[in-house]
Structure 1
Amino acid sequence: MGSSRFSFANLAIALSLCLGSITYGYDFSIISTTVGQASWYAYFGLTTVATNPNYEYSNQIIGTVFGLFSAGAIFGAIFVGWLCDRYGRRPALVVAAIINVIGGALQAGSVHIGMFLAARFVTGFSGSMFVTLVPIYIAEVAPPASRGLLVGQHGAFFLTGYTLAAWVGVGSYFSSSAAFNWRFPLSLQALWPLLVLVFFKWLPESPRWLVSNGRRDEAWAILSRLHYDPKDPEQSFANREFAQITQQIELDQQTYGDCGYVDLFTRPHFRKRTLIGALVMWASQANGAIVIYSNIVSLVAGLGFNSTQSLLLSAGWITLACVGNFTNAFFLDKLGRVKSMMIGMSGCVVFTIIEAAIVANYGGTQNKAALAAGVAMLFGFIIFYGGFVDTTIYVYGSEIFPTHIRAKGMGWCMAIFFLSTLPFLESSAVGFATIGWKYYLLFIILPSINVVLIYFFCPETKGLSLEEINGVFNDKVAMQLTRIDGEGAATDSGVLETDTGNNSNNETEKTDAKIQVV
């Protein structure tokens, strides 16, 4: 009957693509340790001393460094949505890698703060191409029952990039060379996209993209290899999935025709997905994770720890986040997407409330026990964010859109993701400097509202094939491949179920079947 579980080929493709995930994670996170290096401030004439005349200017530059990465990422997400639909997932991966190498090299070789800022924009542009494309790519080659696990590796591995950046930053801090302190960590940004180019040759194109572009023979050759099972010489699961993909794409093309970004907002069924995707991405950033990620070194230092301790604790914090993301990926197919996000965001709110109280009452004091508790609250926060949210959002965004508009939909989601980071990244340094603990109130009120919205508006998608998720959004499903058991878990049905009806011209059979509990 074939296997709906992942094969070695699925796993190998996912892990190779995750080099792109590491690229994004390293690109984003390395700046957190860079702005913790005194030699970087000295080279560009900046300061962290409040009494220095350049203090306000320095804070503005730091905000701009973070903000330009996100600004570039917004454009990169929209661009890659168009690029990988037009030319395919593989060519888009190459373009992202080449641009990223250029951005990393420019940062490492910067001789002026303007050059550095421009390079951050370029790196953000290419980094978001990876963070948008990789989950789409993996989702389109993953079996339904293990899609959460495989796509979840994307979130887990970009946290690997965060972790690598943190420990590279720690190691570079102890170098006696002022230039090495910050230039070497930045130069490693070029390594990961170069590795992407090394592994690129043997990565297959997405079979769903091939079918949507009329290249069915190529799609079948790839799909049969991905789902190969020596116990099933007839390749029954691969045959069933191929039939489902081809019929669903035909049905979608007949129903909607060619679709562009405008259709995300003008067609009701797409608009619902678009708004839900925006909600999930906004909610993931409005709980303060991006602010803590970006300012973890300075936040720990603000709790009374010296530079060395702050770098070590921040590296440990990010390492724990990485472990949490891998854990999230492993139980996501069982727990479900919506429940995972709600648990994670609720837990983050609890720890943020305690953190705000500690900073309000003990910040700036010598109460070591209270300040240590403040650091512990930051670790508690990341257990819930990394363990329940950070991986889930990419899985969810990559699967709620139909194939013919998935890349543009995910591009939109990631544009909202990065757009949502801008107000927090731009304001965080000034916010903590001016209103202190009260800045945390944002990350108590906003996520509390978002948890309620996710509960009421986000449907569950775990276990269903990408084509069957159309039924969750009241679109037509051409063929059912999975079924949902009495416990709410989707499994391989073993049969192809269709509601067929000949139209007046006896054309292609269609179905209005919805996914139902049986």
Structure 2
Amino acid sequence: MAGGIVVAAEQTGLTHLLDPTKKWYNNRRLITLNAWIVLLLITSCTNGFDGSMMNSLQSLPQWKDYFNHPSPSELGLLNAIQNIGSLAAYPFAPYMSDGIGRRRTVLFGAFIMTLAAVIQAASQSVGMFIGARFLIGFGLTFAANAAPMLVSELSYPPYRAPLTATYNSLWNLGAIVAAWTTFGTYRIVGSTWSWRIPSAMQGLPSLVQICLVWFAPESPRWLVSKGREEQALQTLAYYHADGNINDPLVQYEFNEIKAALDFDRHVAANVGWKSLFSTPGNRKRMRIIIAIAFFSQWSGNGIASYYLNAILTDIDVTNPTIQLLINGILTIWSLFWALVGSALIDRLGRRVLFLSSAIGVLLAWIAQTISFAEFWQHGTPAAAHSLIAFLFLFSAAYGLAFSPLIVVYTVEILPYHLRAKGFTVFNFVISLALIFNQYTNPIALGHLVWKYYIVYCCWIAFEVVFLYLYVVETKNLTLEETAALFDGKEAIDEIAGNGLVAANVKVDGTLEKNGTLDKDMVEK
């Protein structure tokens, strides 16, 4: 692990304030809060829908005929253009999230994506189709920047990590809808509606958000940052304590937010882009964030997400119905494992899940490489079947951590004043990685075939080593307490001075029991 002060929480400071009998399913206001959170979580479905839809469209004769059978380089552009659109929006998204609020930024992005999906479905030329996909990516950046932060900042404390982890897991839900929709519309013979219907449905999650997000609560942290403390307190009380503003949990959360924001204003006043790399703690954060962003797209999943049909064709699985069926089943399988990872995030911890996932991905990818090589050199049918089986094992291993953890981990290790900008860097890096993948993978697969898999074997092995050395455990810490993992003594002193850090928090192996961190202990 990275050096410096290490803080591992057995409990957070608010654990003893939680009512153990208060479950989301037996409290009306928690049910309402979680319903709003589900509305925000479906933002990720649009992105997942895209990868699966483009994968499926490449198996549709109707789509290939309409666009004159795109070449590998043209396929690269068709797949990458959404992420190019995302890149164009990154300079603006964090300022909107911090300026007009998380909720309105989600609404703005949803409106653009809905309009773009209509244009995509109505496309009369490849240029129109590409332009619509650019707009989808542009709008997605705004919604995807604000939605997970709002989920994390609204959630009832015990459910914060699993719900935020579920955000990226629902990428697979969008993929399921796209895969099975395309599987059904494939049977619309002799009509462009076979690909226009899936193209239109990409805007469905955004349309639902446009209708409902007006009524969702705003982030208490954003409200406090804008001086609207009374509204923030009322929001916390309404959803976390049945309207009681004097509830100890509400007062704890409210005071913790105020103290953290006050620290941001006075101790960490420089909140420009340079501040992401201006301190040792922030450089540690950005090293991890940039790495996991690349890892999330360069672990072989880019091939399975966008070019599954090319792989299946290479192993003589050429029937479009079979290709679409495998894609549809694979999306359901991936969603299951992503939700398992989301449920285990606070039980096993981030570090265990990341390492287990990366090692599983490496072993499954090596097995796929061997199977692919065997089939390509000897034409063994069993090798082709093995490749498909190992693809499912790979998807299970990948879904265990890389689907659910990358967003929640990024959001929770960033302090409030850097959260929007740091999360934008995370998404920017993902888009860069995707664009590279989407241009490179079809060309490399066409020239190297199974030998291209060896490149990923080496890279994934590097990922395992990096994650072992640098991923820091953040299990059961609040957003504010997590700062102590990276910022060290100064941040701990500031928060400790306000009496906000938990009982039962270890600093360099020392356990404090009286409810706040002892400053003499921090000096160690």
Same fold judged by TM-score > 0.5? yes
Task: Quote the residue 1:255 is aligned against.
Answer: 267
Tell me how far 1:496 sits from its aligned partner.
5.5
Question: SS of the counterpart of 1:178?
Answer: coil
Choose which of 98, 101, 118 in structure 2 pairs with 1:105: 118
- Residues 278-329 of structure 1, C-alpha deviations (whole Å, 9 max, x = no match): 0111112221112211112232232222211111011111110111111111
Question: Offset of 1:245 from its aligned partner?
Answer: 0.8
Query: For the Cα contact (< 8 Å) 2:502–2:517, is it kept in 1?
Result: no
Indicate if the aligned counterparts of 1:285 and 1:420 stay in contact, CA closer than 8 A: yes
Alignment check: 8 A CA contact 1:98 1:193 kept: yes
- The reply on whether 1:417 has 2:437 as its aligned counterpart is no
Q: Does 1:277 align with 2:289?
A: yes
Q: Which residue of 1 aligns with 2:61?
A: 38
- One-letter amino acid of the counterpart of residue 383, structure 2: A
How many Å separate the matches in 1 of 2:347 and 2:268? Answer: 33
Which piece of structure 1 moves more, 115-124 or 462-471?
Answer: 115-124
Change in Cα spacing, 1:164 to 1:482, as seen in structure 2 (3 Å) is farther
On the 8 A contact 1:240/1:481 being kept in 2, the answer is no
CA contact (8 A) 1:22 1:158 kept: yes
Q: Separation in 1 of the partners of 2:520 and 2:331?
A: 46
- Mapped to 1, the partners of 2:185 and 2:200 lie a distance apart of 12
Asked whether 1:403 is paired with 2:416, we answer yes
Shift of 1:400: 0.9
2:137 is equivalent to residue 118 of structure 1: no
The answer to whether residue 171 in structure 2 is matched with residue 151 in structure 1 is no
Q: Which residue does 1:54 correspond to in 2?
A: none
Alignment pair present for 1:384 and 2:397:
yes
Letter of the 1:345 partner, please give it.
Answer: A
Judged with a 3 Å threshold, the aligned counterparts in structure 2 of structure 1 residues 512 and 464 are, in CA distance, closer, same or farther, namely farther
1:290 match: 302
- Amino acid in structure 2 at the alignment position of 1:346: I
**Relative to structure 1, is the Cα distance of residues 346 and 84 closer, same or farther in structure 2, using a 3 angstrom cutoff?**
same
- The aligned counterpart of 1:497 is 516
Task: Give the Cα separation in 2 of the matches to 1:514 and 1:424.
Answer: 45
Deviation at 1:18, TM superposition (A): 1.5
Greater relative contact order: 1 or 2 (C-alpha under 8 angstroms, separation 6 or more)? 2
- Report the RMSD for the aligned CA atoms in angstroms: 2.6
Structure 1 residue 481: Cα displacement: 4.5
Q: What residue is the counterpart of 1:137 in the other structure?
A: 150
- Alignment equivalent of 2:184, drawn from 136, 153, 171: 171
Alpha-carbon offset, residue 199 of structure 1: 1.6
CA distance, structure 2, for counterparts of residue 21 and residue 187 of structure 1 = 17
2:311 is matched with which residue: 279, 299, 323?
A: 299
The question of 1:211 aligning with 2:230 is answered no
Q: 2:50 pairs with 2, 11, 27, which one?
A: 27
- Whether the 8 Å CA contact 2:101–2:222 is kept in 1: the answer is yes
**Structure 1 residues 2 and 350, CA, compared in 2 at 3 Å: closer, same or farther?**
closer
Q: What whole-Å deviation, never above 9, does each CA across 1:121-170 have from its counterpart, x for those lacking one? A: 11112223333322211111124433221102212222100111111111
SS at match of 1:175: coil
| Residue identity opposite 2:446 in structure 1 | A
In structure 1, the partner of 2:12 is: none
Listed as ranges, the gaps of 5+ residues in structure 2 are 1-16, 25-29
Q: Does the Cα contact within 8 Å between 1:398 and 1:406 map onto a contact in 2?
A: yes
State the alpha-carbon separation in 2 of the partners of residues 27 and 286 from structure 1: 18
Q: How does 1:232-271 map to 2 (within 5 A)?
A: 234-271=246-283
AA aligned opposite 1:29 = S
Distance 1:176 1:484, change over 3 A: farther
1:293 counterpart letter in structure 2 = S
How far 1:407 sits from its partner (Å)? 0.9
Q: Distance between the aligned counterparts of 1:368 and 1:273, measured in 2?
A: 47
- Going from structure 1 to structure 2, the CA distance change for 1:483 and 1:434 (only over 3 Å counts) comes to farther
Counterparts in 2 of 1:467 and 1:287: CA distance versus 1, 3 Å: same
Contact 1:15–1:153 (CA<8 Å) still a contact in 2? no
Alpha carbons of structure 1 residues 68 and 408: separation in structure 2 relative to 1, 3 Å: same
Q: CA deviation at 1:494?
A: 11
In structure 2, the residue matched to 1:457 is 470
Match of 1:467 in 2: 480
Return the letter of the residue paired with 1:264. Answer: L
Aligned-partner Cα distance in 1 for 2:522–2:161: 22
C-alpha separation between the residues in 1 aligned to 2:408 and 2:523? 20
What amino acid is aligned across from residue 35 of structure 2 in structure 1? A
Q: For 1:513 and 1:376, how far apart are their aligned partners in 2?
A: 53
Q: 1:17 aligns with which of 23, 40, 43?
A: 40
> Is 2:503–2:514's contact at 8 Å kept on the other side of the alignment?
no
CA–CA distance in 2 between the matches of 1:369 and 1:484? 55
How has the CA–CA distance of structure 1 residues 460 and 483 changed in structure 2, closer, same or farther, with 3 Å as cutoff? farther
Q: Is the 8 A contact 1:24 1:131 kept in 2?
A: no
What is the aligned partner in structure 2 of residue 51 from structure 1?
Answer: none
Summarize the Cα distance change of 1:333–1:484 in structure 2 as closer, same or farther, 3 Å threshold.
farther
Paired-residue identity, %: 26
* CA offsets 1:473-504 (integer angstroms, 9 cap, x no match): 02514143434579x9xxxx9985266xxxxx
Corresponding residue for residue 189 of structure 1: 202
Aligned residue type for 2:436: P
Q: In the TM superposition, what whole-angstrom CA distance separates every residue of 1:36-71 from its partner, at most 9, and x where no partner exists?
A: 211112112225xxxxxxxxxx11110011121222
**What does 1:4-83 align with in structure 2 at a 5 Å threshold?**
7-46=30-69, 58-83=71-96
State the distance in 2 between where 1:26 and 1:432 align.
23
The CA deviation at 1:457 is 1.7
In the alignment of these two chains, the number of paired residues is 491
Tell me if 1:89 matches 2:102: yes
Residue type of the alignment partner of 1:42: D
Which secondary structure state, in structure 2, belongs to the residue aligned with residue 205 of structure 1? coil
1:385-411 Cα deviation digits (max 9, x unpaired): 012221111110111111122011111
Contact 2:41-2:151 at 8 Å conserved across structures: no
Give secondary structure in 1 for the equivalent of 2:192. Answer: helix
**C-alpha separation between the residues in 2 aligned to 1:359 and 1:244?**
54
- 1:413-452 aligned within 5 A: 413-452=426-465
Go from structure 1 to structure 2 and tell me whether the alpha carbon gap of 1:106 and 1:494 turns closer, same or farther (over 3 Å shift): farther
Partner of 1:320: 333
Report if aligned partners of 2:245, 2:251 keep a CA contact under 8 Å in 1.
no
Q: What is the CA–CA distance in structure 2 between the aligned matches of 1:25 and 1:38, rounded to whole Å? A: 22
- Are the aligned partners of 2:107 and 2:143 in contact in 1 as well (CA < 8 Å)? no
TM-score by length of 1: 0.89
Q: Deviations over 1:353-408 (max 9, x none)?
A: 11111111113765322211110010010000012221111110111111122011
Q: Does the 8 A contact of 2:234 with 2:245 survive in 1?
A: no
CA contact (8 A) 1:65 1:117 kept: yes
